[in-house]
A and B are shown apart, each in its own frame.
Chain A
Amino acid sequence: MQMKNTRSLAILTSVALLISLALGTGIGAAQAVRNPDTLIIAHSGDVDSLDPAWQYDTLSSGITLWNVYETLIFFRGGSVGEYVPMLATQVPSLQNGLISRDARTFTFPINPQARFSDGTPVTAEDVRYSLLRMMLIDRSGGPSWILLQPITGEDSTRDERGNLKPDIYDKAARAIQVRGNSVVITLARPYAPFLNIMASWSQVISRRAAVARGDWNGERATLAQFNNPRRNSDTKLFEGAVASGPYVIERWDRAARTVILRRNDRYWRGRPAPIQRIVYRTVEEFGTRRLMLQQGDADLITVARPEQSQVEGLPGVRIVDDLSQFVTQALFMNLDVKGAGNPYLGSGRLDGNGIPPDFFNDVRVRRAIAQSIDYGATRRDCWRGKIAPGNGPVPRGMFGYNERGQWYAFDRERAIAAWREVAGGRVWETGFRFTVLYNTGNAARRCASEIFKRTLESLNPRFRVDVVSLAWSTYLAQESEGRLPIYFLGWAADYADPDNFVYPFMHSKGTFTGAQSYNNPEVDRLIEEAQRTADPARRRQIYFRLQEIAFNDVPTVYLGYPTGFIVMRSWVRGWYHNPMFFGLGYLHALRKTE
């Protein structure tokens, strides 16, 4: 055994030596552009589906959105609140009369020049079909609700028993109408973020081509057989649809885990894209991806924050850091932990060896927790400092974020004082033991859990915290079942509106809050009022008020809003960032030159 250890050690040392040698030599310092008319992207994930109504993961949407499937309007440059026309000729506004006075009706005049890649014109009828399809395919766990909710006021196309609601088609069809060459959408009630949703989720495909592939024909009678498809491969547009973007899907090779986009040479907006092909390849192993980047066989690779140092200083490689994105990282507390004999609660009683299931129901406990987190160390050590301090669900840079919003700070003495106050000093006297959880493989959250444990245990020797990680799927399931007492999670925007954050984080029916058993009627009322309000000043006021409640009630501790970064060969030009881009965003203008 001893011998074996020595041998492995010797081997590892020589490997480390060779690796440092390889990194030091910097081969490829003056490489010529490799594959000048092809952009190769090596990523770590798996493409789920190329059907616009199915895809809801960043990777799949990132491949097709805007590059293949264009939307009615688009974001202006890096802005998330200003729009430019894409398939529509104008961005609707109150001034140009394309938004009605009651803020419920939106008119989108369709550009008569717009053409699908097969040469056929993009008609208002195609737009209507695409929007209906997006809403009514409605697979469980899919993105349809994003359109369904504002347009029909319904959450789902199915009732609680899973049956298709009989009036859902009519509701949707009535709400979206074709008038001349325009599409007129009437919302169930005013919904402020609607234009923002349209900039990402109004993907238009050719109805004719879709029906020719055997997809839904847009009629009421045939909807049932297309609603809630069981498998991603069951939809006829699994491998993509005909659309109007600068690229078309050439092939999705599922065995080789490669998606290839080919330039649309007949792109309707005139100039075809400079790059002829875009290749998306899944390369799981980071070391392999890194070498491919170094050799110029990949132009862009995905890198996780903890791996960043390994691509820094590579010759011919450019890293764009501190990219704003709309992501909120938080520590959640569960006010009513479920599951008999739940192991994460220790003994299940306040006897120094556990906590009762309603431990976090006491707001003083939650405040004491919020005061016992070493925010500085967590942000510095776990996110390499690349995370803006948090003070509520709405991320920094988004409308509704309160620059001056108050939040807790770490101070040993005040934290101890806060704990002494809980339950008349009983918690301080007896101490507790519980488990804090994170998802396996998430290095930042593991680090945050460990700092949390260390800080809390340093306050009082009778405080004990166990750190446990669970596989992602198990983690999400146990979270939604309300079994986790205190845990780390994050949320990324579906659309750039604070409602997409306050609802899941604070509304009693929200994705997180439901599982946390947090319920504050005032919060629900405010969130619903903000949804109905078109006046930005009033909305801002509401979101600021919600931030205050988040601070006072503190069911969730907001750690912060991490920034992103991107790693590419320096010969990739023309890339720009918008926080609402999925994946790499809009690739039309990209080119490769020295």
Chain B
Amino acid sequence: MTQFIVRRLMLLPVVALGTTLLIFALTQLLSPAMRASLFVQDPNQMRDLEAIIQKYGLDQPFHVQYWEWLKNLARGDLGYSFVARQTVAEAIRSYFPMTLELSLLSFAVILVVGVWLGTLSAVHKDRFVDHLSRFVSIVGTGLPTFVWGLLLLLVFYGLRPWFPPGRLSLQAYLFVTSDGFHAYTGLMTVDALLNGQLWIFWDALRHLVLPVLTLSYFIAAVLVRVTRSSMLETLRQDYVRTARAKGVAEPVVIRRHARRNALIPVITLGSLIMVGLLTGSVITETIYDLPGIGRWGAQAANQLDIPGAAGFALFAALLTVLGNLAADVLYAFVDPRIRY
């Protein structure tokens, strides 16, 4: 097992390098002037384009620019993201906690609702609960996130101002940014508790309700369907029938015998979901005006902020590899027959 983990971890730099190489190669399709014009915002600044190209070395050949980037990377310098107005490392540090907080909460909701509703649906196949959960999850998978998100905002902020956009209310924000508050983790709810400020905790939580609902609804919907079909599959297996025949109580059959095995595809999907959440929920972050990493990554790509986009891709590749690794380890944990 340890050997397996080590081997997989050694693959990490290769995946990461491949990703950045791809991104850098793609940027070479643009002319130096095109990349230079990213540093100006309106025609008034165009008079100096040549100087900008020189300044940023945009006329250098591909391998020179990539090599420079790699050398800096070796020193731990990921470059400067002009979209974030800070270095890439600082940008990741400042944007990631928000996304992490949102992801952890959403993931918990997704997992609980997804697995619970999926199991319920399978056990009560073709009964009312099943139909209801299938209806809800089909709507969820068909509904575009931005429609769902805007709809929630419209109802729970526009009609009834219960859950405002943003990360904190103004008063809470001013308090959090004052000297009296110490940011330990960057996760607002956790920091609020560590600082003993319950009102900040509630305020932060209030601002997370809609984004979590937006994110979890449609992802949980997918998970419900996967869990349901996987459960149905398992419930048809011989050992389940055997267990039932032996007189094992139905809840025990379902929890211990069936669900445990049905969880394998759920774990695969779960790791993908977690990685997806962590690397960005661009639309949700945009609608609710949350300073998360997804919005930054998308903006960097959109505005051809090359160090930003490369840095984000590197980070995402890292999370993906780690996520897959976690899934593999979990397989072995859930199903002892799996050996690496």
A511 to B40, CA, bound (A): 13
CB distance from A303 to the nearest CB of B (A): 16
Shortest beta-carbon distance from B207 to chain A in Å: 12
Q: Which of B34, B51, B167, B304 contacts A162 (CB 8 A)?
A: B51
B85 engages A48 (CB within 8 Å) = yes
- Which residues does chain B contribute within 8 Å of A22, judged by CB atoms? 154-155, 158-159
Nearest B residue to A510, CB-CB = B47
Central interface residue in A251, A258, A474, A476, by most chain B CB within 10 Å: A476
- Judge if B165 is at the interface, Cβ distance under 8 Å: yes
Residues of A within 8 A of B13 (CB): none
A interface residues, how many (CB within 8 angstroms): 69
Cβ contacts under 8 Å, B85 to chain A: 46-49, 232-233, 254
Closest chain A residue, CB of each to CB of B94: A255
Which listed residue, A40, A46, A57, touches B170 by the CB 8 Å rule?
A40
With A478-B34, A494-B44, A511-B47 as contacts: A255 and B291 at CB distance below 8 Å: yes
On chain A, the residues within 8 Å of B139 by CB distance are 7, 11
Contact B289 A481 (CB under 8 A): no
**Is there contact, CB below 8 Å, between A27 and B159?**
yes
Chain A residues closer than 8 Å to B38, beta-carbon distance: 473
Q: Which residues of A contact B66 (CB under 8 A)?
A: none
Q: What's the Cα separation between A504 and B160 when bound, in Å?
A: 51
B160 to chain A, nearest CB (A): 8
A 1-40 to B, binary, CB cutoff 8 A, 1 in contact else 0: 0001001100110010011001001010000000100101
Does A211 have its Cβ within 8 Å of any Cβ on chain B? no
Chain B's nearest CB lies how many Å from the CB of A315? Answer: 13
Contact with B along A154-166 (1 / 0, CB 8 A): 0010100010000
Contact A480 B37 (CB under 8 A): yes
Q: Are A233 and B80 in contact (CB under 8 A)?
A: yes
- Residues of B within 8 Å of A142, CB to CB, are 45, 48
How many Å lie between the Cα of A277 and that of B170 in the bound state?
Answer: 11
Minimum CB–CB distance from A227 to chain B (whole Å) comes to 11
Interface residues of A: mostly helix, strand, loop or mixed?
A: mixed
Which residues of chain A come closer than 8 Å to B82, judged between CB atoms? 231-232
Contacts of B160 on A, CB cut-off 8 Å? 27
B303 contacts A473, CB within 8 Å?
yes
Specify which chain B residues have a CB less than 8 angstroms from the CB of A162 in the assembled complex.
51, 54-55
B298 to A: closest C-beta gap in Å? 11
**Contact partner of A35 among B36, B94, B143, B170, CB < 8 A?**
B170
Stretch among B106-114, B145-153, B225-233 lining the A interface: B145-153
The answer for the CA separation of A251 and B179 in the assembled complex, in Å, is 12
Give chain A interface residues in 504-522, CB to chain B under 8 Å.
504, 511-512
CB distance from B96 to the nearest CB of A (A): 10
* Cβ of A358 under 8 Å from chain B: no
A230 to B157, CA, bound (A): 43
Report the bound CA distance from A11 to B146 in whole Å.
Answer: 12
Which of the 9-residue segments A63-71, A284-292, A380-388, A582-590 touches chain B? A284-292
Q: Is the beta-carbon distance between B46 and A511 smaller than 8 angstroms?
A: yes
Q: When the two chains form their complex, are residues B37 and A476 in contact, meaning their CB atoms are under 8 A apart?
A: yes
A319 on interface, CB distance cutoff 8 Å? no
The interface residues of chain B lying within 8 Å CB-to-CB of A7 are 139, 142
A288 touches B31 (CB 8 A): no
When A11-B139, A15-B151, A18-B155 are in contact, do A48 and B33 touch as well, CB less than 8 Å?
no
Contact status B170-A38, CB under 8 Å? yes
Of the listed residues B33, B41, B143, B291, the one surrounded by the most CB atoms of chain A closer than 10 A to its CB is: B41
Determine the chain A residues whose CB is within 8 A of the CB of B287 once the complex forms: 285, 287-288
Measured between alpha carbons, how far is A47 from B83 in the docked complex, in Å?
10
Choose among B35, B164, B170 the residue with the greatest number of A CB atoms under 10 Å from its CB.
Answer: B170
Complex CA distance for A48 and B39, rounded to whole angstroms: 10
Q: Which of B33, B52, B170 touches A141 (beta carbons < 8 Å)?
A: B52
Q: Say whether B291 contacts A291, CB under 8 Å.
A: no
Q: Hey, which chain A residues are within 8 Å of B36, CB to CB?
A: 477
Known contacts A27-B159, A231-B80, A283 near B86 by CB under 8 Å: no
Bound CA span A246–B295, Å: 34
Pick the contact of A473 from B143, B153, B289, B304 — CB < 8 Å? B304
The answer to whether B167 and A141 touch across the interface, beta carbons within 8 angstroms, is no
Q: Is B286 close to A, CB under 8 A?
A: yes
Q: Which residues of B have CB within 8 Å of A257?
A: 291
The verdict on A407 contacting chain B, using a C-beta distance below 8 Å, is no
Shortest Cβ gap from A235 to chain B (Å): 12
> Cβ of B154 and Cβ of A291 under 8 Å apart?
yes
Q: A201-243 toward B: CB 8 Å interface, digit per residue (1/0)? A: 0000000000000000000000000001011110000000000
Bound form: Cα–Cα A432–B43 in Å:
29
User: In the complex, A288 Cα to B288 Cα: how many Å?
Assistant: 7
Q: Is A295 an interface residue (CB 8 A)?
A: yes
In the complex, what's the smallest C-beta–C-beta distance from B82 to chain A, in angstroms?
7
**Residue among B33, B44, B98, B167 making CB contact with A56, cutoff 8 Å:** B44
B177 interfacial by beta-carbon distance below 8 Å = yes
- Interchain CB contact under 8 A, B151 and A18: yes
Whether A491 contacts B51 by the Cβ 8 Å rule is: no
B95 in the interface (beta carbon within 8 A): yes
A481 to B35, CA, bound (A): 13
Contacts of A156 in B (CB 8 A): 48, 51
Q: How far is the CA of A35 from the CA of B174 in the complex (A)?
A: 13
- Which residues of chain B have C-beta atoms less than 8 A from A288's C-beta? 153, 165, 287-289
Chain B proximity mask over A259-291: 1 for CB below 8 Å, otherwise 0: 010000000000000000101010111011001
Distance in angstroms from A391 CB to nearest chain B CB is: 21
Residues of the A chain whose Cβ atoms lie less than 8 Å from the Cβ of B170: 35, 38, 40, 279, 297
In angstroms, Cα B161 to Cα A49, docked, is 34
B30 to chain A: closest CB distance in Å? Answer: 8
B70 at the interface (CB under 8 A from A): no
Q: In the complex, what's the smallest C-beta–C-beta distance from A239 to chain B, in angstroms?
A: 10
Of B35, B55, B83, B150, the residue contacting A228 (CB under 8 A) is: B55
6 pairs from A and B in contact (CB 8 Å cutoff): A57-B41, A140-B48, A141-B52, A255-B98, A287-B287, A511-B46
Beyond A11-B147, A297-B170, A480-B33, 5 additional contacts (C-beta under 8 Å) are A22-B159, A48-B41, A255-B98, A257-B291, A287-B150
Binding site for B on A (CB under 8 A): 4, 7-8, 11-12, 15, 18-19, 22, 25, 27, 35, 38, 40, 46-49, 56-57, 140-142, 145, 156, 158, 162, 228, 230-233, 251, 253-258, 260, 277, 279, 281, 283-285, 287-288, 291-292, 294-295, 297, 473-474, 476-481, 489-492, 494, 504, 511-512
